[in-house]
């Protein structure tokens, strides 16, 4: 088993509030000297071939590196990487990558650096959809196959991707909105987005607003939490100071909802319906408590599997499926176990393989 180390371009320090502890606890990934935007590196397991591999799978990918560009450091990005490793398991591909501190300029520079070091394929979890489209274009000029694990939907950039993980976030926003209509008291709502420009939060906004419009629910605060628990908590805290009669909070990631739930508990606030999106280990400790009622559940790991599978198809002479559908549903404490069994949100057995 060989490990290949790729250097990354200089990055700014991680912004204040980034949930570094949560990432290390729940994904156990050493994503590049965390505070300085470094890299992760590993290689395929010598276990049996993956389901998509043919006989002699151990020789598939020999001498080639598939890298991953993560938008930043949190549990979710670690789970995406675990999904990529799941898809590469049993092959000879080397695996390496970088994280981009949720910064678009860092993202482009890091991808350019990966390309300069001779990677054969790339999976991206974008910080910015426009930047990653440019990065994919540059990769295509070097015949490097790119899979997108967070596709914003059809656009001009599609021609640069081998395949994408297709998560219908407009529908996801509708699902959250409908659940609130059916289960929460109408009133004022605080919405904590991820990153505007990523091509993710805006789509959830569209679906959520479409359902809640004219319903008695009113979004009075909408701000970016940058997937950081401390930043999200501050948005909620200031929002409740300005609007103490808020009846619902919606956050667009588990990493942010974990902080919000902790804040609600610390302040004994039990009369607000809190709904999240995606899932991590900590979220399931909160789900079903008075501080977190439900989440729009989908698997971060599944997005990594789908994107990596498309890259592999190109490198192995096949025809990739361009859109791989990511499953989603509203999950509460009552149906959480069934949802996880059907579609695991992570593959923890691969976490250690991603360490440098």
pLDDT in tens, 281-340: 999 999 999 999 999 999 999 999 999 999 999 999 999 999 999 999 999 999 999 999
Give the per-residue pLDDT at 352: 80
Percent of the chain past pLDDT 90, that is, above it, reads: 78
Per-residue pLDDT, averaged over 221-244, amounts to 97
pLDDT in tens, 110-131: 999 999 999 999 999 999 989 9
Q: Please, what is the average pLDDT of the chain?
A: 86
31 pLDDT more than 70: no
Q: Where are the domain boundaries for CATH 3.40.50.2300 in the chain?
A: 20-167+299-329+344-354, 169-297
CATH number of this structure's domain 169-297: 3.40.50.2300
CATH number of this structure's domain 20-167+299-329+344-354: 3.40.50.2300
pLDDT in tens, 57-67: 569 999 999 99
Query: Per-residue confidence at 354, pLDDT binned at 50, 70, 90?
Result: low
Per-residue three-class SS string for the chain:
CCCCCCCCCCCCCCCCCCCHHHHHHHHCCCCCCHHHCCEEEEECCCCCCCCCCCCCHHHCCCCCEEEEEECCCCHHHHHHHHHHHHHHCCCCCEEEEEECCCCHHHHHHHHHHHHHCCCCEEEECCCCHHHHHHHHHHHHHCCCEEEECCCCCCCHHHHHCCEEEECCHHHHHHHHHHHHHHHCCCCEEEEEECCCCCCCHHHHHHHHHHHHCCCCCEEEEEEECCCCHHHHHHHHHHHHHHCCCEEEEEECCHHHHHHHHHHHHHCCCCCCEEEEECCCCCHHHHCCCCCCCEEEECCHHHHHHHHHHHHHHHHCCCCCCCEEECCCEEECCCCHHHHHHHCCCCCHHHCHHHCC
């Amino acid at each position: 088993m060989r490990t290949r180390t790729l250097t990354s371009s200089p990055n700014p320090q991680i912004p204040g509030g980034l949930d570094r502890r949560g990432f290390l606890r729940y994904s156990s990934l050493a994503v590049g000297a965390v505070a300085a935007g470094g890299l992760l590196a590993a290689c395929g397991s010598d276990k049996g071939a993956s389901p998509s591999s043919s006989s002699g799978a151990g020789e598939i990918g020999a001498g080639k590196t598939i890298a991953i560009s993560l938008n930043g450091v949190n549990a979710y990005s670690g789970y995406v990487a675990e999904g990529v490793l799941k898809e590469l398991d049993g092959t000879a591909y080397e695996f390496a990558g970088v994280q981009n501190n949720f910064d678009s300029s860092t993202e482009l520079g890091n991808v350019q650096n990966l390309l300069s070091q001779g990677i054969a394929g790339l999976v991206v979890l974008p910080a910015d959809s426009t930047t990653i489209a440019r990065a994919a274009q540059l990769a295509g000029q070097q015949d490097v196959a790119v899979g997108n694990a967070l596709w914003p939907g059809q656009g001009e950039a599609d021609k640069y991707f081998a395949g994408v993980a297709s998560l219908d976030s407009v529908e996801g926003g509708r699902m959250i909105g409908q659940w609130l209509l059916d289960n929460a008291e109408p009133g004022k709502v605080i919405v904590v987005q991820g990153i505007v420009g990523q091509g993710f939060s805006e789509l959830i906004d569209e679906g959520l607003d479409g359902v809640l419009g004219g319903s008695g629910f009113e979004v009075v605060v909408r701000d970016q939490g940058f997937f950081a628990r401390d930043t999200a908590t501050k948005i909620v805290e200031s929002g409740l100071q300005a609007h103490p009669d808020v009846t619902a909070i919606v956050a667009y990631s588990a990493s942010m909802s974990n902080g919000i739930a902790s804040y609600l508990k610390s302040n004994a606030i039990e009369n607000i319906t809190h709904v999240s999106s995606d899932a991590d280990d900590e979220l399931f400790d909160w789900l079903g408590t008075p501080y977190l009622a439900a989440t729009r559940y989908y698997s971060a790991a599944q997005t990594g599997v789908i994107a990596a599978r498309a890259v592999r198809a190109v490198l192995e002479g096949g025809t990739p499926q361009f859109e791989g559908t990511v499953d989603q549903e509203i999950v509460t404490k009552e149906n959480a176990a069934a949802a996880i069994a059907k579609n695991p949100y992570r593959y923890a057995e691969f976490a250690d393989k991603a360490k440098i």
